C-alpha cells in the first residue's frame, strides 16, 4: 500500500511541474504587460529582468506555503488517504482549468483556482466522512479563514483599481503626456520614490517570513529600516538627477525594468504556493504517514527545502521564455489598456453602454461644479501626444508603466508580508485597468469595448471559482470511490486535454499571426496598389456569395441540416472579414496622400457595400438554417422552382460582375444594369405570387415569412453587388486620373 501512496505523491509532483508551466503561462501577464506595453527595453532585456525576479521571489515564498495545507481546511482532522485525495483533486482540476484559460488568452487567477479547488475537494471528502462517521462538515472546513481569504481577494480588486486610477491621475497631473519638461525637475524624485517603495516592500517586507529572515544582515536591515528607506530615497534622488543632468538618461526605463523585476519577484513570492504548495503538503503528509504518525503535524510550522523553491523558479523561468500561451494572455491586457485606438477584440454590451452613459452624465455634473479654469488646466495635462500614422506606437507610455508596476508590486508584497494569498492577476490587471481609465485611454470611441473586455475577464474569474470548486468536488468524490484506477484515468485525461488545447492554441496563434502579417503588409503598400487590394477582397467575397447561394439552396432543398450549418458558419466568417475591413478603414485612409482623397471616398463606398452584402448573406444563411433546424416543412415544388430560377439568374449575374471586376471591363456596366433589372422584375413577380397564396390562405405563416425573407435578401444582394461594381469603377478611374496628374506635374 505504501508503494501506491509513494506513486501518488510522485503523480502530485508530476502535476506540480505541469501546473508550474500552465500557471506561469497565465500569470506572466502580471509582470510583463507594463514593460512590453511601454517598450521599456528589448524583449530580451525585459525577459532577463523578469527571470531574475522570478528566481529571487521563489526563494522568498517559503512563508506562503502553509495556505495549501491549513489555510482552507483543518488538515489534522483528515487521515493521510483523505488528504491525498483532496490534494490530487485540486491538482487535476487546476492543471486543466488554467490551461483552458491560457489557450484562449484570458488572464485568470491561480490563487482563486487554488483556494476554491481546495475548498471543493475538502467539502467533498468531509461530506463522505460525515456520512460514514457522523459530525458536521464545518468541523473540517476552516470557514473563517476561507471567507477571509476570499473576501481579501475581492477587496483587493477594488483597492487595486482605485489605487491604480488615483496614482496614475496624480502622475499625469505632474508630468502630462509631454513629460520632457517636468521630467527634468521631478523625474529624479519620482524615480527615487518608486525605487524606495520597491526596496521597502520587496526586500524589507519580502525578507520577512523567508528562509533568510534570521540572517545577520537581514536582522540589521529590519532594525534600521527607517534609516534604510531615508538613505535610499536620498541616494536614488541624487543618482537619478546626476544621470538626467549629465547623461540625459531616461530613468523611466530603469524604473520600469526594475519594477518588472520587483513584480516578477512579488508574483513568485505570492503565487508559488498555487503551483507547488499542494504537492509539498502531500509530501509532508506522506512523511508523517511513513513515520506512523497522524496528520496533526500538518498544522505545525512550514519550512520548505530551498532546493524545491529554486527548482520551481528555474522551471518557471524556462516556461517564461518558451511559452507561446504566455504571450497570448499578455496581449489581452495590453490591448485593453493601450492608449491608441484601433480594432477592438471585444464588442459592446448593455452593461458597458450603461456604465459609459453613467460616466458621461457624472462627468457633465462635475464639469458644472468645478470652475472652468481648473477644468481647463487639468484637461491640458491629459492631452495625448499622437504618433505619426506610419509609426507603430507603444500601447502606453513609461509614466503609466511605472505606476502600474510600482503600485502592483507594493500591494502584492504588502499582502505577502501578512501571508494573505491575494490574486496577483486580479491586482495587476485592475491596477492596469484603473490606470488606463484615469489616463483617459478609454475614450468614447473605445470605452464600451474596453469595459466589455474587462467585464469578460472579471466574469472569467467567477467562472474560475465556480469550476474549480465544482470540478474538484466531483473529482474528489470519484477518486475516493474509484481509487488508483480513477486517478490513472484522470491523469491520462489531463494529459490528453493539455495536448488538445496546445493544438487549438497553435491554430489560433497561426490564424492571428497571418491576419496581423497581412494587415501590416497592406499598410506598407503604395496608393497605386490599394486598388489591387480592394479588387482581391471584392472578388473573394463575391465569389463566395455565388457559391453560398447555390449551396445553401441545395442543402435547404435536401434538408441537409449539417451541411447547411457549415455554410451558415462560413457566411458568418465572411461577415467578420467585412467587419474587420470596415474597422481598418481609418488606418487605410491615413496611409493615403491628400491627392488620393477622392479615391479614398470610393474605397469607403466599396467597403460599406461589402459590409451590406455580407450582412445580407449571413442573415439569409441564419434564416435557412433555423428553418431546417426547427424541422419546419420546406417549400412546395412550385416555390422551390421559383427560388431556383431566381438563384440561377442571380448566379449568372454575379459571375458577370466578377468578370467585370477581374478584367476591369467597366464598359459592360450597362449590361449588368439590364441583368439587375430583370432579376428585380422577376423577384417582384414571384413576390406577388406568394402574396396571392397568403391572401387565399394557401400557405402558412412560417413558410411565407421565410419565402419573403429569401426574396428580400436576393433583392438586397443584387443591389449591393452592382453598387460595389460602380464604386470600384469610380475608384479605379479616380486613382488612374490622380496618378496621371501627379506624373504630369513631375514632368
Digit-coded pLDDT (tens) for 680-725? 999 999 999 888 888 877 778 888 888 899 999 899 888 888 888 8
Q: Which of 24-33, 166-175, 428-437, 517-526 has the lowest mean pLDDT?
A: 517-526
Span 119-128, mean pLDDT? 91
pLDDT surpasses 50 at 525: no
How do the residues of the chain divide into helix, strand and coil, expressed in percent and rounded to 5? 85, 0, 15
The whole-number average pLDDT for the span 301-313 is: 75
Residue 124: what pLDDT? Answer: 92
Q: What is the mean pLDDT of residues 376-404?
A: 75
Percentage of the chain surpassing pLDDT 70?
A: 77
Q: Helix crossing, 225-247 with 251-272: angle to 10°?
A: 140
- Give per-residue pLDDT as tens, 311-367: 888 888 888 888 766 665 556 556 666 665 555 555 666 766 676 676 667 667 767
Q: For 183-197, 273-287, 414-428, which range has the lowest pLDDT when averaged over its residues?
A: 414-428
> 516 pLDDT band (50/70/90 cuts)?
very low
| Residue 524 pLDDT exceeds 50 | no
Closest CA to 276 of 226, 227, 311, 324: 311
Q: What is the pLDDT of residue 30?
A: 66
Q: What is the pTM assigned to this prediction?
A: 0.67
**b/e string for 422-438 if b means 16 or more Cβ within 10 A?**
bbbbbbbbbbbbbbbbb
Please choose, from the candidates 446, 483, 451, 589, the residue with its C-alpha nearest in 3D space to the C-alpha of residue 527.
589
| Strand-pair partners of 73 | 141
The band of 526, judged by pLDDT with boundaries at 50, 70 and 90, is: very low
Strand partners, 141: 73
* Cα 499 versus chain centre, distance: 21
pLDDT at residue 448 above 80? no
Q: What is the pLDDT of residue 632?
A: 86
pLDDT above 90 for 269: no
> What mean pLDDT is predicted for residues 530-548?
73
Q: Which of 3-7, 668-672, 679-683 has the lowest mean pLDDT?
A: 3-7
CA–CA dist 57, 317 (Å, integer): 12
Average pLDDT in the 677-681 region? 91
Enclosing H/E stretch for 700: none
Answer yes or no: are the C-beta atoms of 676 and 684 closer than 8 Å.
no
pLDDT digits (tens, 9 = 90+) for 392-409: 667 778 888 888 888 887
Contact 298, 70 (CB under 8 A): yes
Q: For the chain, list the domains and their CATH numbers.
A: 2-514 (no CATH), 525-746 (1.20.58.220)
For residue range 422-437, list pLDDT tens digits in order: 677 778 888 888 888 8
Cα–Cα distances (Å) from 235 to 200, 232, 239, 259, 482, in that order, read: 14, 5, 6, 18, 63
Q: How many CB atoms lie within 10 A of CB 230?
A: 12
Side-chain-facing half-sphere of 200: CA atoms under 13 Å: 20
Residue 517: pLDDT over 60: no
Q: What is the mean pLDDT of the segment spanning 90-104?
A: 82
The answer to whether residue 301 scores a pLDDT higher than 70 is no
Highest mean pLDDT among 323-327, 531-535, 619-623: 619-623
Question: Taking residues 630-646, what's their average pLDDT?
Answer: 87
pLDDT (tens digit, 9 = 90+) per residue, 357-375?
766 676 677 677 878 888 8
pLDDT at 474 over 90: yes
Candidates 334, 387, 286, 318; CA nearest to 81 is 286
Whole-number pLDDT of residue 78: 85
Residue 472 has pLDDT above 90, yes or no: yes
Contact in structure between 577 and 689 (CB atoms under 8 Å): no
146 closest CA partner among 135, 156, 138, 158: 138
Mean pLDDT for the stretch of residues 234-255:
89
What percent of the chain is predicted at pLDDT more than 90?
5
Furthest C-alpha separation in the chain: 100
Q: Is the pLDDT of residue 211 over 80?
A: no
Cβ contacts of 490 within 8 Å, gap of 6 or more: 88, 92, 475, 478, 479
Mean per-residue pLDDT over the chain, rounded = 78
Task: Tell me how far apart the alpha carbons of residues 64 and 317 are, in angstroms, rounded to a whole number.
Answer: 20
Q: Distance between CA 36 and CA 425 in Å, rounded?
A: 17
At 194-208, the pLDDT tens digits run 888 877 766 655 565
pLDDT of residue 477: 93
Residue 183 is predicted with a pLDDT of 80
Residue 584 or residue 96, greater confidence? 96
Q: How far apart are CA 280 and CA 65, in angstroms?
A: 8
Angle at 376 between CA 372 and CA 380, to 5 degrees: 175
Amino acid at each position: 500500500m505504501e508503494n501506491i501512496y509513494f506513486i501518488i505523491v510522485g503523480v502530485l509532483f508530476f502535476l506540480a511541474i505541469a501546473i508550474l508551466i500552465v500557471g506561469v503561462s497565465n500569470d506572466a501577464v502580471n509582470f510583463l504587460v507594463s514593460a512590453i506595453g511601454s517598450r521599456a527595453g528589448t524583449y530580451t532585456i525585459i525577459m532577463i529582468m523578469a527571470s531574475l525576479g522570478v528566481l529571487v521571489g521563489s526563494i522568498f515564498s517559503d512563508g506562503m506555503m502553509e495556505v495549501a495545507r491549513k489555510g482552507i481546511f483543518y488538515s489534522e482532522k483528515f487521515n493521510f488517504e483523505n488528504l491525498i485525495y483532496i490534494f490530487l483533486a485540486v491538482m487535476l482540476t487546476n492543471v486543466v482549468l488554467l490551461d483552458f484559460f491560457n489557450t484562449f488568452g484570458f488572464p485568470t487567477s491561480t490563487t482563486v483556482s487554488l483556494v476554491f479547488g481546495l475548498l471543493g475537494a475538502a467539502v467533498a471528502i468531509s461530506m463522505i466522512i460525515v456520512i460514514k462517521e457522523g459530525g458536521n462538515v464545518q468541523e473540517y472546513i476552516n470557514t473563517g479563514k476561507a471567507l477571509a481569504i476570499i473576501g481579501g481577494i475581492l477587496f483587493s480588486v477594488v483597492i487595486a483599481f482605485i489605487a491604480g486610477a488615483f496614482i496614475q491621475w496624480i502622475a499625469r497631473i505632474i508630468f502630462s503626456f509631454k513629460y520632457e519638461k517636468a521630467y527634468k525637475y521631478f523625474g529624479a524624485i519620482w524615480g527615487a520614490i518608486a525605487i524606495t517603495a520597491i526596496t521597502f516592500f520587496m526586500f524589507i517586507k519580502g525578507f520577512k517570513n523567508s528562509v533568510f529572515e534570521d540572517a545577520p544582515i537581514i536582522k540589521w536591515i529590519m532594525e534600521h529600516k527607517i534609516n534604510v528607506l531615508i538613505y535610499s530615497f536620498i541616494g536614488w534622488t541624487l543618482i537619478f538627477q546626476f544621470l538626467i543632468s549629465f547623461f540625459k538618461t531616461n530613468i523611466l526605463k530603469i524604473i520600469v525594468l526594475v519594477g518588472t523585476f520587483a513584480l516578477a519577484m512579488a508574483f513568485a513570492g505570492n503565487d508559488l504556493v498555487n503551483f507547488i504548495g499542494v504537492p509539498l503538503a502531500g509530501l509532508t503528509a506522506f512523511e508523517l504517514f511513513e513515520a506512523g504518525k497522524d496528520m496533526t503535524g500538518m498544522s505545525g510550522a512550514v519550512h520548505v527545502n530551498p532546493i524545491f523553491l529554486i527548482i520551481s523558479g528555474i522551471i518557471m523561468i524556462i516556461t517564461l521564455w518558451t511559452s507561446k500561451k504566455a504571450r497570448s494572455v499578455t496581449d489581452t491586457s495590453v490591448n485593453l489598456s493601450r492608449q491608441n485606438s484601433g480594432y477592438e477584440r471585444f464588442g459592446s454590451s448593455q452593461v458597458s453602454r450603461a456604465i459609459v452613459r453613467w460616466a458621461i452624465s457624472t462627468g457633465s455634473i462635475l464639469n458644472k461644479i468645478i470652475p472652468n479654469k481648473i477644468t481647463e488646466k487639468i484637461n491640458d495635462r491629459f492631452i495625448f501626444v499622437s504618433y505619426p500614422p506610419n509609426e507603430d506606437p507603444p500601447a502606453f507610455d513609461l509614466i503609466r508603466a511605472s505606476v502600474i508596476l510600482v503600485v502592483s508590486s507594493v500591494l502584492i508584497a504588502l499582502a505577502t508580508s501578512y501571508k494573505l494569498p491575494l490574486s496577483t492577476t486580479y491586482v495587476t490587471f485592475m491596477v492596469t485597468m484603473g490606470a488606463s481609465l484615469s489616463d483617459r485611454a478609454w475614450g468614447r470611441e473605445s470605452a464600451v469595448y474596453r469595459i466589455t473586455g474587462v467585464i469578460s475577464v472579471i466574469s472569467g474569474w467567477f467562472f474560475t471559482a465556480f469550476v474549480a470548486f465544482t470540478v474538484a468536488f466531483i473529482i474528489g468524490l470519484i477518486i475516493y470511490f474509484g481509487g488508483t484506477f480513477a486517478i490513472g484515468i484522470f491523469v491520462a485525461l489531463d494529459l490528453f486535454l493539455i495536448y488538445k488545447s496546445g493544438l487549438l492554441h497553435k491554430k489560433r496563434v497561426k490564424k492571428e499571426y497571418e491576419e496581423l502579417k497581412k494587415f501590416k503588409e497592406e499598410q506598407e503598400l503604395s496608393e497605386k496598389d490599394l486598388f489591387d487590394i480592394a479588387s482581391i477582397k471584392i472578388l473573394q467575397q463575391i465569389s463566395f456569395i455565388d457559391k453560398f447561394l447555390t449551396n445553401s439552396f441545395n442543402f435547404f432543398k435536401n434538408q441537409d441540416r449539417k451541411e447547411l450549418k457549415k455554410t451558415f458558419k462560413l457566411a458568418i466568417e465572411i461577415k467578420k472579414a467585412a467587419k474587420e475591413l470596415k474597422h481598418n478603414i481609418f488606418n487605410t485612409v491615413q496611409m493615403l496622400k491628400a491627392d488620393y482623397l477622392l479615391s479614398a471616398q470610393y474605397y469607403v463606398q466599396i467597403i460599406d457595400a461589402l459590409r451590406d452584402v455580407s450582412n445580407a448573406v449571413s442573415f439569409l444563411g441564419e434564416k435557412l438554417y433555423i428553418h431546417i433546424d426547427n424541422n419546419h416543412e420546406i417549400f412546395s415544388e412550385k416555390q422551390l422552382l421559383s427560388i431556383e430560377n431566381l438563384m440561377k439568374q442571380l448566379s449568372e449575374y454575379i459571375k458577370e460582375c466578377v468578370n467585370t471586376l477581374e478584367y476591369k471591363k467597366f464598359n459592360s456596366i450597362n449590361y449588368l444594369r439590364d441583368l439587375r433589372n430583370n432579376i428585380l422584375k422577376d423577384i417582384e413577380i414571384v413576390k406577388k405570387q406568394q402574396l396571392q397564396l397568403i391572401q387565399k390562405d394557401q400557405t402558412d405563416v412560417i413558410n411565407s415569412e421565410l419565402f419573403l425573407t429569401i426574396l428580400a435578401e436576393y433583392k438586397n444582394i443584387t443591389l449591393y453587388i452592382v453598387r460595389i461594381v460602380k464604386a470600384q469603377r469610380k475608384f479605379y478611374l479616380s486613382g488612374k486620373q490622380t496618378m496621371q496628374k501627379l506624373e504630369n506635374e513631375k514632368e
